[in-house]
Structure formats: structure tokens, C-alpha cells
Amino acid sequence: MRINQFIAHAGVSSRRKAEDLIKSGQVKVNGSKLTDLTYQVTGNDLVEVNGQQLRNEEYVYFMLNKPRGVISAVTDDKGRPTVVGILAGVKERIYPVGRLDWDTSGLLLLTNDGDFANYMTHPSHQIDKTYIAKVEGYATKENLRPLTLGMKIEGQKISPARYKIIRTDKSKNASIVELTIHEGHNHQVKDMFETLGLPVQKLSRIAFGNLNLDGVPAGKYRELTRKEVKELINLAK
């Protein structure tokens, strides 16, 4: 197995980031710093990243219903709760696939499979992600039309999205809107509504590709089936 694949399989990083670790001298094989990006790892090799010995783990895939106030990270230097902390009983070294803001709840994937993570997060793979947003303001077909045409946010072109107005309340000056996108830029959904003059007050991701949160309460998780993983990969391809 090629070294970058071995590192990704161990749950440390994606294959691409594994190459960066090698280039920066953070990877040793049998006690010596590795410089060959094409090195093939055998069963007798001892591989270390920053002094930590790696073992070739089985790939695992989880879906978490992330609560608000939890960081999409493995650890946090400020001591805040993390998504990996919720899955503390999982023995593999998993990490979140992409991220949800600390104040955003909903469906988040975690895995130790770097290739899978890349498939799920790269915009070119166009996997649908659906959100429910409570926004300040009165949502109408007219003021939401730019969502379906493609928008520019901070000079960056955003692909057309799909929306559904769930509920509006003129007396409270608030609306509930379902939005489906296939990209995942930082704060994208919040920025899209902000650009329309409808700032987000509350946000939750309710679906990712073929997955939804049925049967998974807030703060709980479950392992994906092989069929679900295969369907997600097929969507990405």
C-alpha cells in the first residue's frame, strides 16, 4: 500500500494531506524520515507520524446528529465539547467530514477514510445537502429567486440552489426555509441568506445525499451501513 494511502487509512488525514506531512518531515518509516512519496508500505514496516505509531485500521463511517454548541473538530484547545468527544466510545481515530458551525445542528459524517471524506466534501462531486433555516424577515418567491439563479458571495460564484418556503410569520418577522445546495463553502448557507437580507437565526442540516436524521435524536449517532456508504460514493462519482 502506498504511504499516503496507509496514512489516510490509519485515519490521520486525507491522502493529499498525508503527502504534505511527508514533505514537512513529519513521517518516519522504520525510524528514518521518509522523503519518497511513492513508498510502498509492507507488513513489516513501522510507520510513525509525529512520533505516533500508526496501525492500519478498518474503515468506519458514522452519522451524528450534532447539537448546537459543539465544535466540528477532533480536539479543541479551549476545552469546548467536540463532535469526536460525543463518539468517545469509537476506538478508531475518526474525524469529521467537513464541518458544521458550532451554532449549527444536524447531520454530520465522521470517518477514518480520507478518500471517502474527500469524495463527500469536494464541490465537484455535487452531493446534495439540505438545511432548514429560520431567518429574520419575510421570505417570498421574489426575494428568494437569486438562490435558484446562482449568486456571488464575496466575489465567489455560488451554484444555483433549491428552496422551499416552509412557513412565514409576518407578525414575528420570521420565516422557515428549506435550502438544498451541493457545495460546502464556509458559512455558505448563512452568507446566502445574509446577502438576501434574511439573516439566519437558527440553522440545521437535515439531509446529506441519501441520508437523513430519521431515528437519530440530537446528540446521538449511528454507524452507516455498507449500502449507505456505497450509495454516497456512487453519488459522488
78-124 confidence digits (pLDDT tens) = 999 999 999 999 988 899 999 999 999 999 999 988 889 888 988 77
Burial 174-193 (b: 16+ CB within 10 A, else e): bbbbebebbbbeeebbbbbb
At residue 129, the pLDDT reads 96
What is the per-residue burial (b if ≥16 Cβ within 10 Å, else e) of 158-172?
A: beebebeeeebeeee
To 5 degrees, how large is the angle CA 211–CA 215–CA 221? 75
* H/E stretch holding 222: strand 221-223
Q: What is the pTM of this model?
A: 0.81
* pLDDT, mean over the chain: 92
Least confident of 40-49, 63-72, 196-205, 219-228: 40-49
pLDDT value at residue 31? 93
Question: Active-site residue numbers?
Answer: 101
pLDDT recorded at residue 42 = 83
The whole-number pLDDT of residue 3 equals: 92
Q: How far apart are alpha carbons 187 and 222 in whole angstroms?
A: 26
> d(Cα 148, Cα 192) in Å, to the nearest integer?
11
Instruction: Say if residue 9's pLDDT is above 80.
Output: no
